[in-house]
Structure 1
Amino acid sequence: MEETTVDLAVVGGGPTGMLTALLAKRMGASVCVLDGKPRALRLGRADALNARSQQYLQIVGILETLSSQGLKCNTSSIFADGKFTSRQSHWWEKLEHVLHKNFLMIGQPVVEQILAAELGDSIVFSEPVESVRENEKGVDVYAISGHIVHATYCVAADGARSATRQALDIPFKGTKPEMTWAVLDTFMDSDFPRCPEIITFELNGESRVAWIPRERDMCRFYILLDGEINEERSKESIKKHLAPYRVEFTKKEWFSTFEVKERVAETFISRNGSGRIILAGDAAHCHSVNGGQGLNTGLADAFGLGWRMAYILKHGDRLAPGAAQKILQSFDVERRKVAENVVAVAARLVRDTKHEASQYVGNVEKNAAYITGMGITYDDLQSPVIRESETGLWKAGCPCPDFEVKVPGSTEDGKWFYQVVEYGKFRVLVSGDHGGNFGKFNDLVAWHKLVPNVDGQQSDLNGESASTYLTDIVKSGEEFAVVVRPDMYLAYAGTVTGATDYLAEIFAN
């Protein structure tokens, strides 16, 4: 009988579980991921990374690899009565302080394979889990093979049918509309005018077919049918919706069906919020695929959970009294509310498919905050690690803006802030003359001075404990200090004194 002892055990080797483990591992935690699949996904599943996910994966360091294989798309079109009747992308184009104003169309298998390679031997495939047992000091994960993993904490990312969640008897409440969709990944020969756009097809007043452009010149179709659902009937429906254009399917890569379910776990943390098992991804929430929310919500769970696990497991001696519990509780407060909102957005969209395409696309626009990911916020939730505050464009609970930065005196081209940060640290962005009176804390806190980007501008730090960036995001005479959490959400926005007071609630001096 093999036994392994680690800081963090992860049940489920999808993107959520693997990214959580990878981030915690990079911050010093020992991890073990168990998954029943023989290898990382090869076909199917999710197909798009929104703007916020691309920001996350930029910091993780894998976005360039994904971008080289993927397809950029920021336009939603309507095709009805044999022609395009509208094209719109303004909800992407009007995003501010964002580098990637588009979906990156890339299959989930590519994401999984990259993450699995990064994890190396920290992920074990062909290792289905039989049971998970929690006690006061840790969690024991029992695989069917007899392998036992002893861990201090456990993340359950084992899908919508999560055996871990069921064993914990955590209610998974919601609705189950009577809708089952077909999904087809295919290559085809057609005289239809190909374009890198998400196309909603309208026929007889309903919008039952959508075409998602994909990498490798592949086409993904979502099809809603009445009666029997199979591949042939799905292809027939596609041909009817693309008429009068010719369509020949040359190679099928994947065909599947999915039943729409809309559910959110009553709590994301075992023992009513005081336990050592945390639900994430589909194990915590599930919904329709409309709007591309599944993979992106799971990645956001992971990006917000990795640092929390590492802080609690490896850096507890640097935390202020009670901070570890606040950090963990905030995951449940923030991500469960987001999950509820995501379910509501996807529910509206999936029901719109039985109406005209203009209604569907109109709701995409109304819910652009969630479609792009850039409007997902944690303000007004009473999160224990966000202090409600605001100054200028900086508001606590909102994503940290991305902006161009340049090192004073450097001859290199400028970069974007999300390209230069490293995952895992709190960051304080300071503008104005504060005399260098920045708090020290520890190496989990980085201070950055932002200086207006004026031609020939130089900045002498005079020994201040901060790195300096020239940027257009601040103007001359502007004074503020904002705290950015490791998941790139603003925790506080105001003054240097206020920022220091906030950090004193998180870190022990």
Structure 2
Amino acid sequence: MALNSVKETGPGTETDVLIVGAGPTGLALACDLARRGVRALVVEQSDTLFPGSRGKGIQPRTMEVFDDLGVVDAVLASGGRAPVGMVWQDGSRQGEHDMFERPGPTDTEPYGEPWLLPQWRTQQILYVRLRELGGEVSFGTALTGLSQDAYGVTAQLSTGTAATADTSTTGTSTIRAAYAVAADGGRSTVRRILSIAMNGESVDPAPVLVADVRIPTLDRLNWHVFPGGSAGYFAVCPLPGTDDFQAVGQFVEGEPDTSPSGVRKLIAARTHLAEEEVTEVLWASDFRPRAAMADRFREGRVFLAGDAAHVHSPAGGQGLNTSVQDVYNLGWKLGQVLRHGALEALLDTYEQERLPVAAQMLGLSTRIHRGEEQRGAATMQLGLGYRGGPLASGGAGALEAGDRAPDGPLPGGRRIFDLFRGPHFTLLAVGTDAELPVLDDELVHTHRIEAYEPYGKGLFLVRPDGYVGWAGEDMSGLAEYLVRCC
């Protein structure tokens, strides 16, 4: 099917994909679809982007996703390395304690440690990118109903009173889409409408307060940790690229007071700082750490992604990252079906691949929260892959299908990741003179490179999301694989 053709999705279809929620999950998906020429409508119940710092840790694998989406330079310019922890006791510094492994960048892994960036800034960057790609968000628009048939979904939307406090623009509308994606968080309206259960456990019965504050008298060189003993932990982390700190406090007893006064009193009670040293309280919220996952990630033409599909303890910084990688997996598959005529069975592989990963990340976050495991290589998510999955076929050299495709230097200052960047598949012939097929250049870019140890020698078909889909020493099986995906 030609690149600019539109697969028939039934009468009255107004957009290809309806995305509910303009958090990092929804915005990342919208960016990915936009660059594929897929029409997407993003609706967000709030009037503006989320204002808080909540998911502030960007893991190395997500940095690679942002590289491909064209936003990594802005992310690097706006954020910074996680500072080393400083433990305090009775108003005195007790010594530094680094909470992260920092292996540093390598040829194969160019982003070597977590990068701190407040969630509101991540969303701003993705929103700017979406608009550059011709997309937009419909703010102040709530989803109130959703139904589907064999050809698409029908959504009821409400603006004004049902979605915002502005009664001057009250209205309702109906939109028809080929598919819908729930990116509307842990209390997902879409999930509730679909009656998909969310099962899990309470990670910790103690509620937690998180707030963005300004404390000019506190240095920004460390992540300040205040062991609270029986009162619960408390930490204050400088947010790079801003004048703000993120304060996080556990409540072993009582309930958090998220008012500005309550936040100031909490900081004064748990640290050596006085209330008046907290000059601004910009945002505050509270939550109870929970690990839960939806029974399924797909219901017909509707997909769940991000917190709508799984919720984590924030320990280990897995939530936002797993969410972005959900839609990085889903986006190219929707693009192949809607723009290139791929079989709809390709969409079944979203749940087949992502549900096990989400379950793994839930377990990891819970163990870190409970002190049973430390942050390390697993939290960076570079080792995640889809070996043995429905889209993994073959192996060659040092890699098996399903592995993350490594980066590496190329002549002329280029890198292997430069070859991957974009919505296409990439066929790499590494250290081999094997015959290569003539392929549609819109779908598959073909390159020969010299033998490279992280790959070994062979042919490697790299999916648009950076994982090896097929590998072999010759072309046997490649054509059959491409039929499944293209």
Aligned counterpart for 1:324 among listed residues 344, 352, 355: 344
- Structure 2 counterpart of 1:179: 206
The verdict on how the C-alpha distance between 1:77 and 1:207 changes in structure 2, with shifts beyond 3 A counting, is: farther
Name the CA distance, whole Å, in 2 between partners of 1:294 and 1:247: 33
Quote the offset at 1:227 in angstroms.
1.1
Match for 2:426: what amino acid? R
Is the counterpart of residue 23 in structure 1 residue 50 in structure 2? no
Match of residue 473 from structure 2: 495
Contact kept, 8 Å, 2:102 with 2:113, in 1: the verdict is no
Correspondence for 1:150: 176
1:375 to 383, 389, 401: 383
In structure 1, the partner of 2:123 is 112
**1:466 equivalent in structure 2:** none
Q: Secondary structure at the match of 2:33?
A: helix
Residue 417 of structure 1, CA deviation: 2.6
Residue 418 of structure 1 corresponds to 417
Q: Does 1:438 align with 2:404?
A: no
Matching residue of 1:400: 405
Q: Partners in 1 of 2:121 and 2:411 — Cα distance?
A: 32
Match of 2:302 in 1: 277
2:464 corresponds to which residue? Answer: 486
1:250 aligned onto 2:255: no
Does the 8 A contact of 2:265 with 2:275 survive in 1? no
Query: Is the 1:92–1:102 contact (alpha carbons within 8 Å) kept by the matching residues of 2?
Result: yes
Counterpart selection for 2:196 from 151, 158, 170? 170
* 1:351-362 alignment, distance < 5 Å: 351-352=370-371
CA RMSD between the two structures: 2.8
Deviations 1:366-402 (A, max 9, x none): xx31x2121222224xx2111253532x232222112
For residue 349 of structure 1, what is the aligned residue in structure 2? 368
Separation in 2 of the partners of 1:199 and 1:375?
Answer: 30
Question: Residue 456 of structure 1 aligns with which residue?
Answer: none
* Superposition deviation, residue 63 in structure 1: 1.3
- State the Cα deviation string for residues 53-83 of structure 1 (Å, max 9, x = none): 1111111111111221111227566556741
| Gapped regions of structure 1 (runs ≥ 5) | 353-358, 408-413, 453-471
1:377 aligned counterpart, secondary structure = coil
Q: TM-score, normalised by structure 1?
A: 0.81
Contact 1:74 1:102 survives alignment (8 Å): no
**TM-score calculated relative to the size of structure 2:** 0.84
Residues 317-352 of structure 1: CA deviation (Å, up to 9, x unaligned): xx4xxx430x21211011111111111122122233
- The answer (yes or no) to whether the contact 1:188–1:249 under 8 Å persists in 2 is yes
Q: Which of 146, 153, 156 is matched with 1:132 structurally?
A: 146
Which residue identity lines up with residue 151 of structure 2 in the other structure? K
Conserved 8 A contact 1:311-1:324 = no
Choose which of 266, 280, 293 in structure 1 pairs with 2:295: 266
Correspondence 1:180-199 to 2 at 5 A: 180-190=207-217, 194-195=220-221, 198=223
Q: Secondary structure at the match of 2:314?
A: coil
3-state SS, counterpart of residue 97 of structure 2: strand
Task: Tell me whether 1:83 sits opposite 2:130 in the alignment.
Answer: no
- Aligned counterparts of 1:404 and 1:499: Cα–Cα separation in 2: 29
8 Å CA contact retained: 1:186, 1:254: yes
Are 1:187 and 1:218, in contact at CA under 8 Å, matched by a contact in 2?
yes
Tell me the distance in 1 between the aligned counterparts of 2:432 and 2:40.
43
How many residues align? The count is 452
SS at match of 1:146: strand
Question: % of aligned pairs identical?
Answer: 25
Residue-by-residue CA offset, 1:124-153 (whole Å, 9 max, x unaligned): 111111011111111011102322111111
CA distance in 2, matches of 1:433, 1:398: 20
2:309 is aligned with 1:290: no
Q: Contact between 1:388 and 1:397, CA under 8 Å: does it hold in 2?
A: no
Give the alignment partner of residue 386 of structure 1, picking from 392, 398, 401. Answer: 392
1:65 to 50, 68, 74: 74
Say if 1:428 and 1:499, in contact at 8 Å, map to a contact too: no
Greater displacement, 212-221 / 495-504 = 495-504
Task: Choose 11-20 or 71-80, whichever is displaced more.
Answer: 71-80
